[in-house]
Amino acid sequence: MEFKRCSRCGAFYTNQGYVCPKCTNKDNLELSQFKTFVEKNGLEINSLSQISTQTGISEKNLNRFLNYDGLEGYKKLFI
């Protein structure tokens, strides 16, 4: 069994996924907020810190989201 460490709360967990079961809902919620924000403001976004200020999602979590499957296109916006 492989233990992973949740990057949101630091707890160890063994399920599949990017974060532990306790944080999954919050993570999905912030991920969809992030996507909605980018869809609405795409061309006007210059930096992750701007998104962080306006959505309340930490830059650390935004950086993690960029490495999620399916968000490759978002990553290009911030290089």
Position among 20, 31, 48, 57 found at the interface with Zn ion (CB under 5 A): 20
Tell whether residue 18 is a contact of Zn ion (CB under 5 A).
no
Distance (Å) of CA 63 to CA 27, 42, 58? 13, 16, 9
Encoding tokens for residue 56?
């309340």
Q: Which of 2, 17, 23, 28 binds Zn ion (CB under 5 A)?
A: 23
- Please choose, out of 8-16, 35-43, 46-54, 69-77, the segment that lies near Zn ion by the rule CB under 5 A: 8-16
Q: Which residues bind Zn ion (CB under 5 A)?
A: 6, 8-9, 11, 20, 23
